[in-house]
Amino acid sequence: MKGFHDKKKGFGITYDNTYLVNGARTPFGKLCGTLGQVSPTDLAIYASRAAIEKSGITGEDIDQLMYANIGQSSADSYFLPRHIGLYSGIPEGIPAVMLQRICGSGFETIIAGAEQIALNKAQSALCGGTENMTLSPTVSFGNRMGYPLGKIDFKDMLWEALNDTAAVPMGCTAENVAIKYGITKEEANAFAKQSIDRYMAANERGFFNGEVVTMNSTVFEAEGLNPRKVYLPRKTVDFSTDEHVRPTDLEAMAKLPSVFARDGVQNAANSSGIVDGAASVVVAKGDFIKTKGLKPLSRIVASATSALDPKLMGLGPVPSIRLLLEIAGLSLNDIGLIEINEAFAAQFLGCEKELGLDRNICNVNGGSIAMGHPLAATGTRLSLTISREMQARGVKYGIASACIGGGQGTAILFENCNI
């Protein structure tokens, strides 16, 4: 393990002998859809139990638990990571921690897990993120102190959270990127359609069957603890569908109004979807993998996190990918697959133009514009998806990255350890 830090470039680390074993995610439910009443904790338990099983181990084998949740949306959310561990078969004596780097949080859990392993504080870690955006609360700050006459004030936290009060709302950062790079609404719509088309093609060939857990109403139990009863809507059986995906055409997209700026490029169809879902992966040391006879999907080579002007938030992957390549001693030509989270079409296109990316190796199975962006889960989902696609294509190196609210970016470099 070797760390790097620079006040302008960011910070990063290279890892030795640390692997992403396998993982799983829930289907991503549309806003107010099938998963709308399932707490983020329970979504994570579904994903975590499946991730542990797919990795070929049991909960008893997990040494650390690092989990993320951005918009706390259940009454017991303070206990979220601990409850995930307790109801996923992880020993009672294993502590749990919640991490938060907004849209990079799913990546951050993997980075933290790998660092714990590098420090010999663990042989294995369960990492992931979960989000129920439907359940995001309406709040009244300060209600405990009462209200002046006629000044009762409530906030929709799902809406308010999209506004960076230090700079501009998240969607406006995409419009700023569009202005900087001369990106048109037509370009943004064309990219969004490509994301949807690629997702539908991947789904048709069964690609997502390898990562999506089938959900039913159930009861999660753990010895000596209260059972967690989870109910899906009546008559819902074997739920495994990413509900946000909507086939569309460019003509229909062109008719949609701009959302964040007058005559802007971003609309409802070329922005990431608001969805509910969770994703989990198991990260482990090489010695652990050999002892257990496991076949990991990828080796975690390095990670990097950078920061930039909050008003150009969407360009966050640019400095983090550049730093990642620098500390790994590679060039962009060495990378066979890239995943950059599609927060907004203009944001991806700005990164593409600045880095000079080859669209043919980017987001090849579609992205968040198609399937949605459950904030804390996305980084984990991207890491699992790219690791699986690297296996399918026989690609040696892949990078997964995301922009982060407030002006940050995180990227992780994966190596296909089976070629």
Q: The tokens 């359940």 sit on which residue?
A: 135
Whether the predicted pLDDT of 233 surpasses 90? yes
Whether the predicted pLDDT of 419 surpasses 90? no
Contact by Cβ (8 Å): 14, 1: yes
Give the least confident one: 78-87, 139-148, 283-292, 319-328: 139-148
Percent of the chain with pLDDT over 90: 94
Task: Note the pLDDT of residue 268.
Answer: 94
Task: Note the pLDDT of residue 149.
Answer: 83
Task: Note the pLDDT of residue 312.
Answer: 98
DSSP string, 264-289: -S--TTSB---EEEEEEEEEEEHHHH
Task: Note the pLDDT of residue 241.
Answer: 96
> In the predicted model, what is the mean pLDDT of residues 69-74?
96
Whether the predicted pLDDT of 313 surpasses 90? yes
- As a residue count, the chain comes to 419
Task: Note the pLDDT of residue 417.
Answer: 87
Confidence of residue 305 (pLDDT cuts 50, 70, 90): very high
Confidence of residue 150 (pLDDT cuts 50, 70, 90): confident
Task: Note the pLDDT of residue 155.
Answer: 94
How far apart are the C-alpha atoms of 255 and 270, rounded to whole Å?
A: 12
Write down the mean pLDDT value for the chain: 96
> In the predicted model, what is the mean pLDDT of residues 303-319?
98
Whether the predicted pLDDT of 418 surpasses 90? no
- Please, how many CA atoms are within 13 Å of residue 139, restricted to the half-sphere of its CB? 16
Contact by Cβ (8 Å): 149, 226: no
Task: Note the pLDDT of residue 240.
Answer: 98
How far apart are the C-alpha atoms of 377 and 388, rounded to whole Å?
A: 17
> In the predicted model, what is the mean pLDDT of residues 224-232?
97
Whether the predicted pLDDT of 66 surpasses 90? yes
How far apart are the C-alpha atoms of 374 and 355, rounded to whole Å?
A: 26
Cα–Cα–Cα angle for 210, 214, 217, rounded to 5 degrees: 165
Question: Whole-model pTM?
Answer: 0.97
Domain 18-135+212-240+273-292: which topology?
Peroxisomal Thiolase; Chain A, domain 1 (3.40.47)
Catalytic center residues: 103, 403
Percent of the chain with pLDDT over 70: 100
Written as six digits, the tokens of 373 are: 């962006």
Whether the predicted pLDDT of 1 surpasses 90? no
- Please, how many CA atoms are within 13 Å of residue 153, restricted to the half-sphere of its CB? 10
Whether the predicted pLDDT of 147 surpasses 90? no
**The amino acid at 355:** L
DSSP string, 83-124: HHHHTTT--TT--EEEE--GGGHHHHHHHHHHHHHHTTS-SE
Pair type for strands 155-156 and 138-139:
antiparallel
List all residues 6 or more positions away from 180 whose beta carbon is below 8 Å from its beta carbon.
312, 350
Confidence of residue 148 (pLDDT cuts 50, 70, 90): confident
How far apart are the C-alpha atoms of 97 and 126, rounded to whole Å?
A: 11
- Please, how many CA atoms are within 13 Å of residue 325, restricted to the half-sphere of its CB? 16
Cα–Cα–Cα angle for 87, 279, 403, rounded to 5 degrees: 140
Cβ count within 10 A of residue 132: 28
Q: The tokens 């509900």 sit on which residue?
A: 243
Q: Tens of pLDDT along 370-390?
A: 999 999 999 999 999 999 999
